[in-house]
């Protein structure tokens, strides 16, 4: 699963040709969650409160880039890197 972003110890990954709804995987330490691109909300798994807040903030800022990556993945292409919160 390609890594598309890393920030503050959080790793964001996207599978190529993954199942709906459009989402990404966020990992922090031993915790992992599936996060909806449209809302930034966790719909499966768990993250610590601060990590979840940072992931949601990042997802809402980067929503267009995440959706572009989702579409590329659905076409069998690898997703592109996206800047993390600490790069801004």
- Classify burial at 55, counting beta carbons within 10 Å of its beta carbon; exposed 0-12, middle 13-18, buried 19 or more: buried
d(CA 10, CA 77): 23
Nearest to 55 by CA among 14, 22, 17, 7: 7
pLDDT of residue 16: 78
Mean pLDDT across 18-46: 96
Segment 61-86, tens digit of pLDDT:
999 999 999 998 888 889 999 999 98
The Cα-based distances of 36 to 24, 33, 39, 60 in angstroms read 7, 10, 6, 10
pLDDT of residue 14: 93
User: Which distant-in-sequence residues (6+ apart) come within 8 Å of 21 by Cβ?
Assistant: 36, 37, 38, 43
Global pTM reads 0.92
Mean pLDDT across 42-61: 97
């Amino acid at each position: 699963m390609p890594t598309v972003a890393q920030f503050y110890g959080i790793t964001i990954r996207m599978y190529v040709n993954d199942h709906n709804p459009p989402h990404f995987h966020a990992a922090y330490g031993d915790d992992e969650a599936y996060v909806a691109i449209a809302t930034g909300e966790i719909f499966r798994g768990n993250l610590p409160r601060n990590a979840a807040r940072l992931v949601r903030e990042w997802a809402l800022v980067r929503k267009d880039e995440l959706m572009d990556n989702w579409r590329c993945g659905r076409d069998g292409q690898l997703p592109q890197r996206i800047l993390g919160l600490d790069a801004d």
